[in-house]
Amino acid sequence: EAVSGAQLIAQALRSQNIEYMFGIVGIPVTEIAIAAQAVGIKYVGMRNEQAACYAASAVGYLTGRPGVCLAVSGPGVLHTLGGMANATINCWPLIVIGGSSDRNQETMGAFQEFPQVEAGRLYNKLSVRPSSLEVIPAVIEKAVRTSMYGRPGSCYIDIPGDFVNLQVNNSSVKYVECCLPPPISTAEHSAVSKAASVIALSKQPLLIIGKGAAYSHAENNIRKLVQLCGLPFLPTPMAKGVVPDNHPNCVAAARSTALQHADVIILLGARLNWILHFGLPPRYQQDVKVIQIDICAEELGNNVRPAATLLGDINAVTKQLLEEFNKRSWKYPSNSEWWKRLREKIKNNEERSKGLALQKSLPMNYYTVFHHIRELIPKDCILVSEGANTMDIGRTMLPNFYPRHRLDAGTFGTMGVGLGFAIAAAMVARDRTPGKRIVCVEGDSSFGFSGMEVETICRYNLPIVIIVVNNNGIYTGLDANSWEEMLKFGDPATCVPPVSLLPNAHYEKIMSAFGGKGYFVKTPEELQNALKASVTDKQTPSLINVMIDPQSERKKQEFPWLTRSNL
């Protein structure tokens, strides 16, 4: 019997255990989405391919199996490039399927014709077009496998428009089984024992946990290692919760001090990139000894010559270290000078934040807002966060207690990811952990990138709580009076600061426009009431638009967005 290209694609995705597809349909891919639903894949129709691609990538991080983004030819595929790059740079598995123009019109200036396979090569681990219908299942298996094996990343599959409805005899199709789970590699024994020796001789050790550790589900072994060895640890932003933020050994509140004075640093699935200031002075000791644990051999030795390199799966290698330290029975003394220094710094920083949080002046500042959010959101909610000050201050103020419960702008610093990530998290939570809430904390500028996805949230009835921390701008804004004064000088395009957005924008009305609940909030009491109502209502999406002081910034630092010293 005959089977169409669209059916082959859907069946192949299903047999690779793909559960979620996000996209925007149109010529030539509509039938692919219909076929996907027919085989039991959940299809979420988004409002922009960029947000769809961010959503699909977040599924990959949360579940370990790629989500699929489906896009039409030309501009549709080009809008997914941001999501592909974000996934590959964050090392998350993702599959993008793009329609392309019919093969017999190539080079003729076909509708939306574009060299999509070549364009995809820069952003993906694999960028391919199946040569025939018969090989579609094999190509899809390879793409899914490639996205997950080794260091995960994005893969692109190009589907010519004429393939979609073309039919082929079932007997000539090369069907393939589901790929095996990614193989788990361990480090060489000599490297493990060398690392353990370096750690045991350290005076000021620091364990840095990266999102690679969260992705590899290494939380149980890492928690055991922290307990067993008594090490101070610092999570990178998306690794918050691998070990709970309230663990006594967490030194996040003394981050700069910990980095600057550690003599031995253990990197668990974290890279020495801009987020960790490249591992170089003046942020680090000149002669700091770095122990790198990574799944990707090419990462080892980047920016700093390591004292030991452990190549392998983070969870498996952590287990090797645990076994080694069980033999040695070494524990870092909790009464050391290093611990005293770190605890003192933590205390000072926490008191400073607390002082800012308890300020009674109106409009509120960031710290006050985050203080109330922290008090009222569920401990086990998935936090999605993006923005400049909103994300940076939120990271220090909003704790995570569970792994893979924080999604943010990530290694690539991408703005616009928030709503896509929240939609993905809500879809996954609905299936795997019903009742788990998604709280999406957005700056007013970052909300604007994908604000129309609020309609998607309402259409699929995902009870996400969106909190827009609104300072009328990017980094800083103007209050209504200053704005009015500015306009007297002439055309806003020539006289309004480039960082400004419209003062007192009512973003909550976007939510109520689609049937969700919107709240406009100016005081701590209003914020508390809106949060309580939103968290209590487990059925309805809500958006809380929180007006803060347009000039509110983080603790006194010059040009925080240039130094990024809190990241």
Enter the tokens of residue 23. 């996209």
Backbone angles phi, psi at 272, to 5 degrees: -85, 65
Enter the tokens of residue 321. 């270290």
Q: Which residues of 348-378 are buried (b: 16+ CB within 10 A; e: fewer)?
A: ebeeebeebbeeeeebbbbbbbbbbbeebbe
Calpha distance 474→291 (Å, rounded): 38
Q: Contact at 8 Å (CB) between 18 and 68?
A: yes
Tell the burial category of 559 from Cβ atoms under 10 Å away from its Cβ (0-12, 13-18, 19+). exposed
For 359-547, CATH gives 3.40.50.970
Calpha distance 397→364 (Å, rounded): 15
Enter the tokens of residue 524. 């701590």
Enter the tokens of residue 207. 């364990």
Q: Contact at 8 Å (CB) between 53 and 420?
A: yes
- Provide CB contacts within 8 A for 387, sequence distance 6+: 394, 415, 441, 442, 443, 444, 445, 446, 469
- Chain Cα centroid distance, residue 311: 24
pLDDT value of residue 554: 60
Cα separations (Å) of 310 from 10, 268, 314, 328, 502?
39, 10, 9, 19, 51
Tell the burial category of 267 from Cβ atoms under 10 Å away from its Cβ (0-12, 13-18, 19+). buried
Q: Contact at 8 Å (CB) between 201 and 69?
A: no
pLDDT value of residue 283: 98
Which long-range contacts (C-beta less than 8 Å, at least 24 apart) are formed by 297-306? Answer: 299/151, 299/271, 302/271, 302/272, 302/273, 303/272, 303/278, 303/279, 304/272, 304/278, 304/279, 304/280
Rounded to two decimals, the pTM is: 0.97
Please give the single-letter amino acid code of residue 459. Answer: R
For every one of its 567 residues, what pLDDT tens digit does the chain have, with 9 covering 90 and above? 999 999 999 999 999 999 999 999 999 999 999 999 999 999 999 999 999 999 999 999 999 999 999 999 999 999 999 999 999 999 999 999 999 999 999 999 999 999 999 999 999 999 999 999 999 999 999 999 999 999 999 999 999 999 999 999 999 999 999 999 999 999 999 999 999 999 999 999 999 999 999 999 999 999 999 999 999 999 999 999 999 999 999 999 999 999 999 999 999 999 999 999 999 999 999 999 999 999 999 999 999 999 999 999 999 999 999 999 999 989 999 999 999 999 999 999 999 999 999 999 999 999 999 999 999 999 999 999 999 999 999 999 999 999 999 999 999 999 999 999 999 999 999 999 999 999 999 999 999 999 999 999 999 999 999 999 999 999 999 999 999 999 999 999 999 999 999 999 999 999 999 999 999 999 999 999 999 999 999 999 999 999 999 998 765 543 343 344 344
Calpha distance 484→488 (Å, rounded): 7
Domain ranges of the chain: 2-172, 189-344, 359-547
Cα separations (Å) of 304 from 190, 291, 292?
21, 10, 10
- Answer yes or no: same fold for 189-344 and 359-547: yes
pLDDT value of residue 553: 79
Calpha distance 462→541 (Å, rounded): 6
Enter the tokens of residue 478. 């103007």
Q: Contact at 8 Å (CB) between 265 and 231?
A: no
State the pairing for strand pair 382-386/438-443.
Answer: parallel
Backbone angles phi, psi at 452, to 5 degrees: -70, -10
Count CB-CB contacts under 10 A for residue 282.
8
Task: Give the single-character DSSP code of 236.
Answer: -
* Closest alpha carbon to 391 in 423, 421, 433: 421
Calpha distance 442→544 (Å, rounded): 10
What single string gives the DSSP state of each residue in 65-127? S-EEEEE-TTHHHHTTHHHHHHHHHHT--EEEEEEE--GGGTTS--TT---HHHHHHTT-SEE
Task: Give the single-character DSSP code of 143.
Answer: H
- Provide CB contacts within 8 A for 58, sequence distance 6+: 67, 92, 407, 417, 420, 421, 424, 425
The label of the residue with tokens 């699909």 reads 56
CATH class (in words) of the domain with range 189-344:
alpha beta
Enter the tokens of residue 178. 């589901």
Q: Which residues of 9-28 are buried (b: 16+ CB within 10 A; e: fewer)?
A: bbbbbbbbebbbbbbbbeeb
Dihedral angle sign, alpha carbons of residues 43, 47, 50, 55:
negative
Beta bridge partners of 97: 70, 157
Containing H/E element for 390? helix 389-397
CATH class (in words) of the domain with range 2-172:
alpha beta
